[in-house]
Structure 1
Amino acid sequence: MTDISEYDRGLPRKRVAAGMLSFDDKGQVLLVDPVYKEPWKIPGGAVEADESPRAAAQREVKEELGLTTEPGRLLGIDWTAERPGRSEGIVMIFDGDQLHPGTIKTIQLDPTELRAYAFVPLDQLDSKLIPNLARRVRTCTHAHTQGTTTNMENGTPAT
C-alpha cells in the first residue's frame, strides 16, 4: 500500500465483500454450503487488499466452484449493519446470469470451502439463508430481471 495521509488513516474502515448471483434455466438461484459457517450463502467472499470488488467476485467463484466466469453488471450494493461477530460492511452483488447446463456440469467444489451447491427456488430462500441475505438475493434477482441496480440497507432497497 502506498503511503497515505494522516487524514486518510483516520477515516473509518468497512468490511467489503462481493458475490455473484447466478441462475439455472428454471430461474433458481445458485447457493453454496460453506464448511466454515452456517447457513448457506451465494458464491463470493471478502474483497482483498488492492483488489476490486468485481475481481473478488470472479476470484471467489473460481476458488469455490472452479468456474471461470466474468461478472456481469452490478445488481446491488448493500450496507450491512454490525451484528454479533461481524463489523458493518458493504456487499456488492454482480450478475452471474444464467449458467448453461454444460457449465453447471463442470462445477468442482473446493472441499476446503464448500460442502455442496444447489439451485434453489426464490420461495425457498428463507429456509437456506439468513434473513438479510435472503432479502438481498430477492432484491438482486428483481434487479437482474428489470435490468437495474439497487442500493440496499440490510438487504432492503434504500429509498
Structure 2
Amino acid sequence: MSVAGELIVALVIAIGLVGTVIPMLPGPSLVGLAIVVWAAFAGGWAWAVAGVAVALIVAAAVLKYLVAGSSMKKSGISNRTIMIGGLVGIVGFFVIPVIGLPIGFLAGAFAAEWAPARSITAGRRGAIAAARAAVVAIGIELTASLFAAGTWLTGAIAL
C-alpha cells in the first residue's frame, strides 16, 4: 500500500479512536474496518494483523456488555432501567446531536429508577450506576481500539 493510503488508514483509525470516546461514531468498528481495508490492499501477512485487531475489538465488545451489565446488577439496577436509559439515549442523540446520547442515557436511567419509588435518591443512584457502567464500557472499548491500532502500526511498519 502506498504511503498516502497508509496515512488515510491512520486518519480513519484516529477518527475511530475519537469516536470511541465521543459517542457520535462507531469507534471500534471504524478502527477495525480501516485495518481490514488496509489488509485487503496490503495482502499477505496483513490479514494476520487484521485478524488480531478484529479479534481484540470483538472481544472488547463482548467484555464491555458483560462487565457493564455486571456493574449495573451489582448496583441493584434492573434491565428495565438499562433499556429505558438506552431508548431515551437514542432519542436524545437525535434531539441534541452528539451529546444527547449520554445525556439521554443518564436521564432515562434516572427516570426509570425514580418513577417506581418517587425518590430522587433512587433516581440519582440509577444515574450514577449508569454513568459508571458507561465509563467502564468506554474504557474497555478504548483499550481494545488502542491495542488494535498498535497492532496495525506494528504490522504497517513491519510490512
Which has a greater percent of strand? 1
What TM-score range do you get, normalising by the shorter chain?
A: under 0.3
Which has a greater percent of helix? 2
TM-score relative to the length of structure 2: 0.26
TM-score relative to the length of structure 1: 0.26
Larger Rg: 2
